[in-house]
Amino acid sequence: MARRVQCVLLGREADGLDYLPYPGEIGQRIYQNVSKEAWTRWLAHQTMLINEYRLTPIEPKARAFLVEEMEKFFFGTGSEKPKEFKPE
């Protein structure tokens, strides 16, 4: 039986993640409050941010930016798409 969480993004109960998706306190918060479906949405959004801003995730500045956006995406006002973003 899958672990269930009350997902903060979806606003309903859904299957929880199988593992901590990120180290530290934010990873623990995500594990406890974010569903697999919501995490998949974040991965797509993160990929768009990396591509649009031409980020190199190994760089500390880029990682800090992505963590800040992840915090906003799940627990804040939401992570905005870049103004120049044009979906295909």
CATH number of the structural domain spanning residue 35: 1.10.3880.10
Q: Classify residue 88: in a domain, yes or no.
A: no
Model pLDDT for residues 48-64, shown as the tens digit of each residue: 999 999 999 999 999 99
Its sign, for the CA torsion 21, 67, 50, 16, is positive
Q: What is the pLDDT, as a whole number, of residue 87?
A: 64
- Containing domain of residue 45, as a range? 4-75
- Residues in the chain predicted with pLDDT less than 70, given as ranges, are 1, 82-88
Closest to 88 (Cα-Cα) out of 56, 49, 48: 48
Helix (H) or strand (E) holding 15: strand 13-15
Q: Classify residue 85: in a domain, yes or no.
A: no
User: Whole-model pTM?
Assistant: 0.87
What span, in angstroms and rounded, lies between the C-alpha atoms of 4 and 60? 33
**Number of structural domains the chain divides into:** 1
